[in-house]
Homo-oligomer: A and B are copies of this chain.
Amino acid sequence: MTSAHAQKFPAVQGGGSLILAWQIKNKNVLVVGGGEVAAGRILNCLNADALVTVVCPPSGLNPEVAYRVGQGQVSHTPRNFEPSDLDGADMVLVAVDDPEASTQIWKLCKERRIPANIADVPPECDFYFGSVHRDGPLQIMVSTNGKGPRLASSIRKFIAKQLPKDAGKAIEAIGQLRAKLRTVAPNQDEGPKRMGWMTKISDAYTWDQMCDFTDEDMDNLLRFYASNEVPSLETLMLMRENPDLSKTELFDGSFGFSVGA
């Protein structure tokens, strides 16, 4: 029985990380240090809509960080770190060339239960960063769990090349359709029907096809929700050209002839 179950359920494969999409919109992220590593961290955080404060003497800011400070994209505390900087911080990222100071900040963060990452000091990290591909709502993160950072970046580039063009746009389109669906069918108890129909939609078209869907196509798709149907791509394109087409005409085949005419 044990072996039957072992086959039935996925085997545990230890040694990995728990990969998470952390939500830091409007949260306070404290970045200690203003060099190249800090610049990368800052961009990661801004891309997730965080409120970033950089603590670093002005002379320590690299051009990118200085640019973002100048643009008002991040706040700047122009001096070395002080413990009071942690007040109100939801996350702390340290990237300074001073192991002792780093360890001190790490300890303070742990006392205050603030998630923290001390760059290049794995034991002083609640989390690591990976190599991330970004395309609109799509984010793909590659981690080699420290075995090959260089490879992680190669793999990310490899994946980016393989992805269909405008994959992000297709996801955006699906997201919009989902939002519209909630507007036309707002009933809470229709949740399973909505979810099932969205699944059918996701399965019916390829990414490339969905990238080209217009607002009009979305509205046309929604006409099929009530009867829990999903039109073929051909049907959807016919509807685009013939806005007044009724579903009956589409399904009884009577329309097919006039198209060829």
Contact = CB atoms under 8 A, between A and B. Distances in A.
Interface in A28-63: 43-50, 63
Interface stretch (A5-13, A237-245, A249-257): A5-13
Interface centre among A144, A150, A162 (most CB of B within 10 A): A144
Contacts of A81: none
Contact of A18 (B16, B24, B148): B24
Contact of A144 (B44, B115, B138, B142): B138
Contacts of A142: 138-140
Given A18-B44, A142-B140, A13 B127 contact: no
A19 B174 contact: no
A202 B154 contact: yes
A197 to B, nearest CB: 11
A17 B126 contact: no
Nearest to A172: B147
A218 interface: no
B48 A132 contact: no
A134 interface: yes
A16 B134 contact: yes
A241 B177 CA distance: 61
A198 to B, nearest CB: 7
Q: In the A-B complex, list the 4 residue pairs whose CB atoms are closest, starting with the nearest.
A: A147-B175, A17-B21, A113-B113, A19-B141
Contacts of A114: 113
Interface in A113-143: 113-115, 125-130, 132, 134, 136-143
A64 to B, nearest CB: 5
Given A140-B140, A159-B140, A22 B127 contact: yes
B170 A23 contact: no
14 contacts: A8-B63, A10-B43, A13-B134, A14-B48, A14-B49, A16-B49, A18-B48, A18-B50, A20-B128, A21-B129, A148-B202, A151-B171, A155-B163, A158-B163
A185 interface: no
Contacts of A223: none
A9 B159 contact: no
Given A150-B198, A151-B170, A155-B167, A139 B19 contact: yes
